[in-house]
Amino acid sequence: MSKTWYYRLLFSYMPVFFLMISFLFFIFFQMLTERAQQDTAHIYASVNNQIVQSVEQPLQSIDHMMVTIQTRSSNSSEFNMLDYFDQEGPPSVFFTFQMTKEFNNMRQLYQSIHSIYLVRERDGYVLSSNTVSPMEQFSDRAFIEELQRDNYSYHWTNERRFKEFQASREEPVVSLARKYLTSRGESGLIIINVRTSSIEGLVSQKMDQTTSYVTITGKDHEPIFAMEKGEAASRRAISTVVSDYTGWTYESGLEKGSGFTILQTFSNVWIMLAVIVAILGLLSIVYMTHRNYRPLRALISKLDKISQASGEQSEAERNEFHYIESTVDSLVQRFNLFKSQSDLNSGYRKKSIFLEVMSGSRSLAAAEWDMEMEQHGFAGSFRKAVVIVISVDKYSDVLSRYREQDMILFRFIIQNMYMELIQKYSLSSWSEWMNDKEMCGFVYVQEEHAEQLMDNILKLSESAHQWIRSNLPFTVTIGIGQMTDSVALLKTSYKKAMEAVNFRLVFGNNRTIGYWETETGATFELYNQLEQIRSLIYAFRLMEPEWRLKYGSLFEQFRQNKLKREDMVNLLNYFVYYLFEHVQGTILNDEMIETNKAIMKDIIDQFETLEDVQEEILGVMEKLEYALEQKTGKGGVAEIAVKMKQYIDENVSNPDLSLIHLSQQFDIPSKNVSSLFKEQFDIKFIDFLIHRRVELAKQLLQEKDMSVQEIGRAVGYLNPVSFNRVFKRVVGMPPGDYRKEKLG
């Protein structure tokens, strides 16, 4: 066989070979340039990190100073600036003088500090080194109100304009605010402003500005400052660092026109030359291939004619291109197979249209919907329609017991059973599986059966439940949506049906739930639920027998309010958090705490019905109760503590009940009574006594027709003012307001 064509191809591509060698030389020089750029980037990254350290070291020192001030203990022999937050109204002249000295000392210690002021939130007074005024008259009032709206962000701010007086000149500063809480629960703000010019000076010491630049930007890309040696378009960023402490972005690089940028431009010229060489090589290949392809093209044309003939063989079938004919035959066979498979995709299109209409991702006019239905073998228009959803109960458990092939068979059986019931009750339906566990049915009727549609659907669902219970190893929940006469409202009916199915966590599995049964669970009193949870946990922690009754009452409230799943999950998560907050520490070891917390989290994440989660969480709490009983039942000390608790419960209304009283009653030194009580029950004696009295007062306020003063005396408070103050601190409102709220 002649190899003429082989040699033609060989010599045709020789020019391409030499072009590629040239291209490799260009690549070599480009790699050298890339290495230089990498070294430069490394240097700028190192300098950038040094700038970050130089800028943030004084900021961190100031931050540390603020933390030190907040944690400073009160000492009567020393001046404490935080005493300002415990005062009311304008401070005394002597206190103001001492504060001014303190502010001046801080500014002398940190030269970059521009100003310092304190804000007392109780009455809105602002104290700085130069003024004492209400917040309404303070020039920086907008910044303080922004901090309060944003829930007190404790990070350094972006650059902002600050002036202490209306007539003062504004200066650019960055600020840091810290919230302070006094022992009485009062709160306030400590705000320090730092000059941005001092930050700019620190940066200038680290960077040569003749050919380089540095910019610092804060949140939302707002500049802290920028060294304006050139426009942004004339700069090339090399290193960018985001600070973990301030969140600021430090960017450094070169000004265009420097020697290095010229070298980079020259490097770009090398790249352009390499691209041009590559394009020339590509064009050369295309040209050579096109010229040498002519004989192959003629042969392929001949093979096309042969493939259309009656099957007679020719000399062409015995030459070196015989494999081409085999390949073409194979491609023809694959094309025919693809065509036959595409004919089977109408089922996929049918399901796709159904899912899009039900989910609302696609809107179809009534005529388009009728056309789609007729195309897939259903009757045309409808008068009334209802969407129902059939969902497999406890699907994860079913899936763990059966293979995927079994589940496919189960889904097939359910759909066939459903279609038989549709025919039995003279209905029409288009049904599809929305996912592995939920089937959606669009049930509709024509003119003559519109009035009985909902009754027939209820009968159908009851028959479906009976059949599945008798023939399948699992149960289902059926959700019924609202009736509609419009294609556009099918998505609403589907949504209502899905909401009904999700309400099985309240109503339970293996039943039919209509959309009308879910309409009363829209609102509920969150505060009452949280208060009930706290009362339950408190009773559990103190090992009171009635905690189980409170536990059952809590879940009964969930059922009555018909809470949505997300609301119930949030309340149960709060329940878990509050529970382990009160049993951690010395009562149970950390391993037991974390293990049981993880178990409860899994229960909450995976539960399907309210009965399931109630039973499983109760089981965990009973294990914890047993561990607590074992802990508090060891030794005589624990027994004495339990007797003390019982004595307090029986004599809670005694106004003389105190640590000294318990000391005399149980013959224990008074200094040991409180520590013993705290060790056994993880709560102070006085807190326990207050809780008991407040709970009794709340009960009397709701059940007895007694005055507030009489109730105060009945729970052990002879002074009505003391009773009002304690009740308001614990409950959040005075006794009279509490009675009005509860009794309506």
Mean pLDDT over residues 79-96, rounded?
82
pLDDT for 389 beyond 90: yes
pLDDT for 635 beyond 70: no
Q: Is 394 exposed, middle or buried (0-12, 13-18, 19+ CB in 10 A)?
A: middle
Edge-to-edge strands of the sheet including 235-242? Answer: 223-226, 212-217, 249-255, 235-242
What would the two tokens of residue 729 be?
A: 């601190």
Residue of higher predicted confidence among 272 and 387: 387
Q: What percent of the chain has pLDDT over 90?
A: 3
Q: Is 358 helix (H, G, I), strand (E, B) or coil?
A: helix
CA distances from 531 to 227, 499, 550 (A): 57, 28, 11
Residue of higher predicted confidence among 99 and 212: 99
Q: What is the pLDDT of residue 317?
A: 45
- Band of the pLDDT at 334, cuts 50, 70, 90? low
- Band of the pLDDT at 292, cuts 50, 70, 90? low
Taking only the tens place, the pLDDT of each residue in 521-566 is 445 566 677 777 887 887 777 777 778 888 888 888 887 777 777 8
CATH of domain 344-517: 3.30.70.270
Taking only the tens place, the pLDDT of each residue in 675-694 is 777 766 667 777 777 888 88
Backbone angles phi, psi at 41, to 5 degrees: -60, -40
CA distances from 577 to 153, 247, 381, 684, 708 (A): 25, 31, 54, 21, 35
Q: What is the pLDDT of residue 310?
A: 40
Return mean pLDDT, the chain.
Answer: 77
pLDDT for 622 beyond 90: no
Please tell me the distance from the alpha carbon of residue 128 to that of residue 130, in angstroms, as a whole number.
Answer: 5
- Band of the pLDDT at 319, cuts 50, 70, 90? very low
Q: What is the pLDDT of residue 560?
A: 78
Q: What is the pLDDT of residue 581?
A: 76
Please tell me the distance from the alpha carbon of residue 442 to that of residue 378, in angstroms, as a whole number.
Answer: 11
DSSP states along 138-195: -TTHHHHHHHHHTT---SPPPPEEE-SSTTSPPEEEEEEEEEEE-TTS-EEEEEEEEE
Q: What is the pLDDT of residue 517?
A: 82
What do you get for the CA distance between the two ends of the chain, in Å? Answer: 108
pLDDT for 478 beyond 90: yes
Please tell me the distance from the alpha carbon of residue 358 to that of residue 354, in angstroms, as a whole number.
Answer: 6
Mean pLDDT over residues 212-234, rounded?
71
Please tell me the distance from the alpha carbon of residue 105 to that of residue 110, in angstroms, as a whole number.
Answer: 9
**What does the DSSP 8-state code read for residue 484?**
B
The amino acid that residue 350 corresponds to is K
CB 559 within 8 A of CB 552: no
Q: What is the pLDDT of residue 480?
A: 92
pLDDT for 608 beyond 70: yes
pLDDT for 77 beyond 70: no
- The CATH T-level fold of domain 635-743 is Arc Repressor Mutant, subunit A (1.10.10)
- Band of the pLDDT at 266, cuts 50, 70, 90? low
pLDDT for 312 beyond 50: no
Q: What is the pLDDT of residue 515?
A: 85
Residue of higher predicted confidence among 663 and 141: 141
Mean pLDDT over residues 593-611, rounded?
82
- Band of the pLDDT at 76, cuts 50, 70, 90? low
Domain locations in the chain as residue ranges: 81-199, 344-517, 523-630, 635-743
Least confident of 112-121, 249-258, 341-350: 341-350
Q: What is the pLDDT of residue 318?
A: 44
Residue of higher predicted confidence among 468 and 3: 468
What would the two tokens of residue 277 be?
A: 């060489």
**What does the DSSP 8-state code read for residue 584?**
T
Taking only the tens place, the pLDDT of each residue in 44-56 is 888 888 888 888 8
pLDDT for 299 beyond 70: no
Please tell me the distance from the alpha carbon of residue 663 to that of residue 132, in angstroms, as a whole number.
Answer: 50
Which residues make Cβ contacts (< 8 Å) with residue 741, sequence separation at least 6?
A: 733
The owner of tokens 């804000």 is 119
Q: What is the pLDDT of residue 440?
A: 92
What would the two tokens of residue 669 be?
A: 């030194």
What would the two tokens of residue 632 be?
A: 């508090």
pLDDT for 28 beyond 80: no
Backbone angles phi, psi at 506, to 5 degrees: -95, -45
Q: What is the pLDDT of residue 311?
A: 44
**What does the DSSP 8-state code read for residue 137?**
G
Least confident of 7-11, 171-175, 600-604, 723-727: 7-11
The amino acid that residue 726 corresponds to is V
Torsion of CA 351, 357, 358, 361, to 10 degrees: 110
Q: What is the pLDDT of residue 439?
A: 92
- The CATH T-level fold of domain 81-199 is Beta-Lactamase (3.30.450)
Helix (H) or strand (E) holding 48: helix 14-70
Q: What is the pLDDT of residue 391?
A: 92
Query: If DSSP states are collapsed to H, E and C, what string results for 242-273?
Result: ECCCCCCEEEEEEECCCHHHHHHHHHHHHHHH
State pTM to two decimals.
Answer: 0.42
Mean pLDDT over residues 296-301, rounded?
66
Residue of higher predicted confidence among 69 and 476: 476
- Band of the pLDDT at 467, cuts 50, 70, 90? very high
Q: What is the pLDDT of residue 521?
A: 46
CB 326 within 8 A of CB 303: no
Least confident of 350-359, 364-373, 632-641: 632-641
Q: What percent of the chain has pLDDT over 70?
A: 76
Domains 344-517 and 635-743 share a fold: no
